[in-house]
Amino acid sequence: MANVGRMHDWFHSYFSEEHRTVTLRTLAGRTMYLTVDPSNVEHILKTNFHNYPKGQRVHSVLQDFLGDGIFNADGETWKKHRKVASVEFSNKKLKQMSLHTFRLDALRLLHLLRHHTARPLDIQDLLMRMTMDSLCKVGFGVDLGNLSPSLPNATFGSAFDNVNAVIVTRIINPIWKIQRALNIGKERFVKANIKILNTFTWDVIQKRKADIQDGEIIEAREDLLSRFMKYNKGKDGAYSDVELRDSILNFMIAGRDTTAVALSWFLYCICEHPHVADKIYKEGLDVLGLQENHQLDFEEVAQKLDYESLAKMHYLHAALSETLRLYPPVPRDGKTVLKNDILPDGTHVEKGAQISYVPYSMGRMKFLWGPDALSYNPQRWLRDGVFQPESPFKFSAFQAGPRICLGKESAYLQMKITASMLLHFFKFSLVKEHTVKYRVMMVMPIANGLYVHVSPR
């Protein structure tokens, strides 16, 4: 328990080029395997995919939060969610809605920053607010207004964060089910915050169902909830209200937290390496055909950021990917061993054990990334100025195989729009007395926020 606060570095300390897979025993006496070997990762996520489901234990830990949504499901339930989500995420109208939404919310963020340059601010909090607003619009068709100038109390977002922070401790707490049954300790806190999430979600679903009475209203909507409801019309295996709730909350945790966390670590990295910010700024000028002394306002620059122009920003893409290498939003991903198996590196794994690949450690292994593995160097992703993707079994921030992240393109889209606009108009520097370290949750945010000074470029 002493290492809980530095869990990812504790796990990382076990690995080396000679020790790419390790076996540990949990407090409850369970066997747990951890690996950073890409051949093992490919075996787990692709080659022998069906032998490594999420498993009942992980499912029970997350059940009251994520239900049977795509993030927490296995088997036929997962296949159903995956099939529907794959179709919806490739829809052109949803992509255009996402582009418009991400630009609009980035603009709201910039307008806030313009009026908050006199004192340090927690940029991670603002990014969390931004992505919550974006994902609620794309997911629910609801604008929470978390980036309003008054910075209102973000009740839904706070409840989401509170559950996220506590629920991960169930993995190492052998008596959490007893605490939940007695409604004591942290489990009482989880229950209260899940109630907030459910109240909001059920209310949105019921209001949207009422809209279905007016076919014109529902057909005009392009948010995911409405699209799932359109999918329900006249089809076998239609989504129940519970499945709608689970699907949208899974979409939220997969997209909102991860993107905000990635952008927060990105800004930390460019504060530590200001020459990277300068290169991104100059690349943006070149791609958008602007001069350094141009007089365009926020809105005019935002309109120039479309799929075509963003695709040409190779250095920005590299800088974001380098951030994800060192600070993956999901630092460890666990599976359950269904049957006894032998991994490609020769490790024998036992039925019923937990096995995890560890993106946090994989991004720091010299045998994978070279002697400068711990250095932040976007150039490693470029060849002749063009971004070169790595194998998803080596760079595993978005998973791989059948469960590869459906929102990868959308995540890069929002990150590139936001990062490009922020660095086009502002400079950032860290508050010197502020210590930056991670917080152990389902995702890996910066503990106590990221406090920065903001100044116009």
- How many other C-beta atoms can be found within 10 angstroms of the C-beta atom of residue 57? 14
**1 pLDDT more than 70:** no
Mean pLDDT of 66-77: 90
Q: What pLDDT is stored for residue 122 in this prediction? A: 97
Percent above pLDDT 70 for the chain? 96
Mean pLDDT of 273-285: 97
Mean pLDDT of 384-413: 96
d(CA 402, CA 455): 44
Between the two ends of the chain, the Cα-to-Cα distance in Å is 45
Helix (H, G, I), strand (E, B) or coil at 453: strand
**55 pLDDT more than 60:** yes
Mean pLDDT of 69-97: 87
d(CA 107, CA 299): 7
Q: What pLDDT is stored for residue 10 in this prediction? A: 87
d(CA 34, CA 10): 12
Mean pLDDT of 74-91: 86
Q: What pLDDT is stored for residue 226 in this prediction? A: 84
Phi then psi for residue 341, to 5 deg, are: -150, 165
Task: Quick: pLDDT tens for 155-191.
Answer: 888 898 889 888 888 877 889 999 999 999 999 999 9
- How many other C-beta atoms can be found within 10 angstroms of the C-beta atom of residue 71? 22
Matching residue, tokens 């490693």: 380
**2 pLDDT more than 70:** no
Mean pLDDT of 48-57: 94
Task: Quick: pLDDT tens for 20-42.
Answer: 999 998 766 789 999 999 999 99
**Is residue 142 a contact partner of residue 156, using CB atoms and an 8 Å limit?**
no
Q: Which residues are annotated as a binding site for heme?
A: 405
- What domain range is 367 assigned to? 4-456
Band of pLDDT at residue 217, cut at 50, 70 and 90? low
Task: Quick: pLDDT tens for 302-342.
Answer: 999 999 999 999 999 999 999 999 999 999 999 999 999 99
Residue 99 to residues 259, 302, 304, 329, Cα–Cα distance (Å) = 15, 10, 12, 22
Task: Quick: pLDDT tens for 229-263.
Answer: 876 665 556 778 888 889 888 888 888 889 999 99
Band of pLDDT at residue 218, cut at 50, 70 and 90? low
Matching residue, tokens 């116009």: 456
Mean pLDDT, all residues of the chain: 91
**153 pLDDT more than 60:** yes
The one-character DSSP state at 143 is -
Quick one: how far is CA 100 from the chain centroid? Answer: 20
Comparing 118 with 445, which gets the higher pLDDT?
445
Q: What pLDDT is stored for residue 81 in this prediction? A: 85
**220 pLDDT more than 80:** no
Domain count, the chain: 1
Q: What pLDDT is stored for residue 452 in this prediction? A: 97
Comparing 348 with 235, which gets the higher pLDDT?
348
pTM of this structure: 0.93
Q: What pLDDT is stored for residue 198 in this prediction? A: 93
Q: Which residues are annotated as a binding site?
A: 405
Q: Residue 19 is part of a domain; what is its CATH number?
A: 1.10.630.10
Band of pLDDT at residue 379, cut at 50, 70 and 90? very high
d(CA 133, CA 151): 12
Among 55-64, 222-231, 241-250, 417-426, the least confident range: 222-231
